[in-house]
Structure 1
Amino acid sequence: MTQNPIVSKLVDFLIIALFLGALLSPSVLWLVEKDVFYSDVEKRTLQSFPKIDSLHSISTFTRSFDSYFQDHFGLREWLIHRYQREAQKRFGISGVADVVEGNDGWLYLSSGNILNDLKGKIQFSEKEKKVFWHHLIEQEKWLKELGIAYIFLVAPNKQTIYPEYLPEHYQSSLKPSRLDRLLAKKPDHGGENLLDVRSRLQREKDQTQLYFKSDTHWNAHGAFLAYQAVMERSQIVFPEIQALKNIHLKPHWADMSDGDLAVMMGGKDTIREQRPVLDTSDFTATPMKLSKETADIIPSPLLQTLHTIKKDRPLRVLVLHDSFFNILKPYISESFGEVLYVTRYRNGATMQLFNQSTLQDLVALYKPDIVIEELVERNLQRFLPAIAEGDQKNN
């Protein structure tokens, strides 16, 4: 039977249109969508648009632009998520090399070879150790001269507290970690304001779960233990501070399906766990709008600035942090009169936006009584000031 030529042409046209749509949609969406700096699926900073004035040739620009486009083409995040989800759902495997599946449903981040930290294979160079402690001690001295207390909190890696759920080959031949060896190089004088909470969490982990199985972060219980350590350290200088006595959780835990590791491996709809929910019904700290002067110093929304006030508490606190501190914010805001949070250590972009000069300007304006800096153990290199290119290690 002869096919209608009009129908045949329409089918051909439709096929061509679909092909062109599939071919052009990544480029079109790249042009119209808002540019992003960070991939939630891959947990990494994306390539920025190349600066033309810093490039030496057309070929250099094209290579840089190619790297940029590979990180920013339309539908990229969705396509990666779908691939990871189907690999996990159809074949029962992780579709991403940066997630390791442990025992009993525990997932671990493995990017940057960080799991080998347990075997002592990831280390700071001797120069980096010296630079780290020098920078920390200089920070202490500068703030002390201004009458400001200083706390540098290290949030432990998940595998540091729960190595027992990792595959066996990660648990064999455990050796001192990068943080252990960094602490071993602490100078005799200075650096006392570094707060290491690993032993506190390791003592308490048999009583209750402190980290999420499907996420890199500590849960409300783990965060509260870190909060207690911060408050004990603060009370050495300010004994009048009143810390919260215990944690109050809602009777029903929430169903959690958006753990960052679950999202990375495409299991947002299939990997679930119960999340303890903090009861803040009695909390009275309130968010406040930034003053114009403060907003002028830290204008970028990437820094995710939050300013809270609690009228019946003393002291003013400045917190520079990464994502691990987010769950501590209700505790801290409820314990101090005024708290200003700045997400300084989320990624390279936020660190460029909030550098040491910015910190000095903000301290001069805000005049805090306490400055708290927090960094997760695996990203301690982010505290290092710039080191000559060639000496920097990719840790």
Structure 2
Amino acid sequence: MQKFSTHCAALLFISFLLLPQVARFVVEPPSAKLENRKLAELPTPTIAAVMSPTYWTTVTDYVRDHLPMRKQQLKANNWISFHLLQDSPTPDKLIRGEGDWLYASVITLDESSLLNRDQDKVIEAFKQFEKAVTQRGKRCLFLLSPSKPMIYPEFLPDFARQHLKDNFTAFHDRYSETAKNHDTFLLLWDEMWKVKKANASLIAPVPSEEQRLHLLFNPRDLHWGVAAQTLQAQELVNAISPGLWDASSYAIDYDNFKVRQSEFSRIWLKTYLPEPYPKFRHRKKVEVVKTIKTNAPGKPIRFYRPAEAAPSPLKVLVIHDSFFGGTCINLTAAHFTELISVRWEILRDTPFPAMDLINQADVIVIQCRDGLIARHGRYNMLNKVTQQLRKQRNS
């Protein structure tokens, strides 16, 4: 009996050593898409490198990062943290709210701390840009898009909700006061709060599948849903040309929806969390000419409608972030002869390719999500373009 136990122990020990090596060839290797950081790379084994004490530390990091079944272990850890412990597996990136509601930490905490930074500089930068554009006989609009915590703060943990309130109130009041005196400032918070209040019965810690389709933001998504995108497009179209909005140009089919993986589960949780999304289609023909794939920084995408079919002959340039995409940009484009869509990154480039696009357009829209307005030096980018517009005018 003792001999049998010894053999079993030896076999178990050998299996413990060999199974990870076998798993390297059987199990899918670690995927960079699952990681929140870059995995350690195997250092080149030169004589000088091997003699260095840091070499073996790097080798240890490499072995740890490339253990067999690492991907499965990470998924299991995230699933246990989220579903069993009711916690966020990545609290530095993701805040777990009440029920199904998830929020990005960088938006809720980091960005909200900066909301009131450089407000006067941001507002002045847009006013000067607007002045330079109008001197060319063009119109300009500044569109500020709400973030998820600003519209649905009620499901945040107490500490995050109070932090947001302390910073957002002054920010909202300052821009609202500016918008009263400048109709070129287009703010959407109040309009979205009205829609939210009208649909109060849909809001719940764990909304049903049908309720989720009509929410402005999906509980487990970073970006907003079709309802909010439609509202933003409608407000912008009517701000450019009052009464132009044509609801017959599109159809949103809430009875025929698709279920997809939510953004937060895809980006950070790495565990499947579904979110339903209603089907959308154009009722009127819009031709899209993509000069390069959709999200390529600084590369314009052009949307055309035949002049005789477009409700407005205007050409509109929208310089925007990710909160002016998908349904929103398609709906806006349906109302004009041409819409040129380009990301903010174009304003970083020299020698200012944005200048040619501005010269081609009748209306220039500068869109930005509220929390990003004072980040990444965006108003400084705007100031540089303003300077170039003035130089062109004076030359």
Counterpart check, 1:202 vs 2:203: no
Q: What amino acid is aligned across from residue 221 of structure 2 in structure 1?
A: D
Aligned in 2, Cα 1:12/1:202: closer, same or farther, shift over 3 Å? closer
- Selected match of 1:222 from 225, 228, 235: 228
- The gaps in structure 2 that reach 5 residues or longer are 8-13, 39-53, 200-214, 383-395
Aligned in 2, Cα 1:112/1:206: closer, same or farther, shift over 3 Å? closer
| Distance apart, 1:92 and its partner CA | 3.6
- The gaps in structure 1 that reach 5 residues or longer are 4-9, 31-38, 47-61, 345-349, 388-395
Aligned in 2, Cα 1:41/1:11: closer, same or farther, shift over 3 Å? closer
Counterpart check, 1:277 vs 2:269: no
Instruction: Tell me how far apart the structure 2 counterparts of residues 203 and 106 of structure 1 sit (CA, whole Å).
Output: 21
Instruction: Tell me how far apart the structure 2 counterparts of residues 101 and 304 of structure 1 sit (CA, whole Å).
Output: 36
Aligned match of 2:390: none
1:319 touches 1:371 (CA, 8 Å); kept in 2?
Answer: yes
Counterpart check, 1:324 vs 2:323: yes
Question: Counterpart of 2:302 in 1: which secondary structure?
Answer: strand
| Distance apart, 1:338 and its partner CA | 0.8
Q: What amino acid is aligned across from residue 341 of structure 1 in structure 2?
A: S
| Distance apart, 1:123 and its partner CA | 4.1
Aligned in 2, Cα 1:302/1:206: closer, same or farther, shift over 3 Å? same
TM-score (norm 1): 0.66
Going by fraction, where is strand more abundant, 1 or 2? 2
| Distance apart, 1:41 and its partner CA | 7.6
2:257 touches 2:277 (CA, 8 Å); kept in 1?
Answer: yes
| Distance apart, 1:169 and its partner CA | 3.7
Instruction: Tell me how far apart the structure 2 counterparts of residues 179 and 109 of structure 1 sit (CA, whole Å).
Output: 19
Aligned match of 1:286: 287
Q: Deviations over 1:48-88 (max 9, x none)?
A: xxxxxxxxxxxxxx9xxx9xx99xx9999998767534532
Instruction: Tell me how far apart the structure 2 counterparts of residues 202 and 219 of structure 1 sit (CA, whole Å).
Output: 15
Aligned match of 1:369: 362
Q: What amino acid is aligned across from residue 116 of structure 2 in structure 1?
A: F
Instruction: Tell me how far apart the structure 1 counterparts of residues 189 and 172 of structure 2 sit (CA, whole Å).
Output: 11
Counterpart check, 1:249 vs 2:252: yes
Instruction: Tell me how far apart the structure 2 counterparts of residues 260 and 355 of structure 1 sit (CA, whole Å).
Output: 33
2:320 touches 2:368 (CA, 8 Å); kept in 1?
Answer: yes
Question: Counterpart of 1:385 in 2: which secondary structure?
Answer: helix
Question: Counterpart of 1:301 in 2: which secondary structure?
Answer: coil
Q: 1:70-149 counterparts in 2 under 5 A? A: 83-89=77-83, 91-97=85-91, 98-111=93-106, 114=109, 117=112, 121-125=113-117, 128-149=118-139
Instruction: Tell me how far apart the structure 1 counterparts of residues 350 and 72 of structure 2 sit (CA, whole Å).
Output: 33
- Selected match of 1:258 from 261, 272, 282: 261
Q: What amino acid is aligned across from residue 332 of structure 1 in structure 2?
A: T
1:283 touches 1:334 (CA, 8 Å); kept in 2?
Answer: yes
Aligned match of 1:393: none
Q: What amino acid is aligned across from residue 333 of structure 1 in structure 2?
A: A
Instruction: Tell me how far apart the structure 2 counterparts of residues 354 and 76 of structure 1 sit (CA, whole Å).
Output: 40
Which protein has the larger Cα radius of gyration, Structure 1 or Structure 2?
2
Counterpart check, 1:306 vs 2:312: no
Instruction: Tell me how far apart the structure 1 counterparts of residues 353 and 70 of structure 2 sit (CA, whole Å).
Output: 34
Q: Deviations over 1:298-345 (max 9, x none)?
A: 99933464211111211111111111111301211111111111122x
| Distance apart, 1:372 and its partner CA | 1.4
Aligned match of 1:158: 148
Question: Counterpart of 1:375 in 2: which secondary structure?
Answer: strand
Q: What amino acid is aligned across from residue 384 of structure 1 in structure 2?
A: Y
Q: What amino acid is aligned across from residue 361 of structure 1 in structure 2?
A: D
TM-score (norm 2): 0.66
| Distance apart, 1:206 and its partner CA | 3.0
2:126 touches 2:379 (CA, 8 Å); kept in 1?
Answer: no
Q: What amino acid is aligned across from residue 338 of structure 1 in structure 2?
A: E
Q: What amino acid is aligned across from residue 374 of structure 1 in structure 2?
A: Q
Q: Deviations over 1:73-118 (max 9, x none)?
A: 999999876753453245442111122222231111122653783x
2:321 touches 2:369 (CA, 8 Å); kept in 1?
Answer: yes
| Distance apart, 1:20 and its partner CA | 9.6
| Distance apart, 1:160 and its partner CA | 1.1
Instruction: Tell me how far apart the structure 2 counterparts of residues 124 and 234 of structure 1 sit (CA, whole Å).
Output: 28
Using the TM superposition, name which of 156-165 and 107-116 deviates more.
Answer: 107-116
Aligned match of 1:392: none
Alignment root-mean-square deviation, CA: 4.4
Instruction: Tell me how far apart the structure 1 counterparts of residues 350 and 120 of structure 2 sit (CA, whole Å).
Output: 20
Q: Deviations over 1:194-231 (max 9, x none)?
A: 21111111001133421111112221111111112112
Aligned in 2, Cα 1:76/1:226: closer, same or farther, shift over 3 Å? farther
| Distance apart, 1:250 and its partner CA | 1.4
Aligned match of 2:343: 343
| Distance apart, 1:187 and its partner CA | 10
Counterpart check, 1:379 vs 2:367: no
1:88 touches 1:265 (CA, 8 Å); kept in 2?
Answer: no
Aligned in 2, Cα 1:106/1:242: closer, same or farther, shift over 3 Å? same
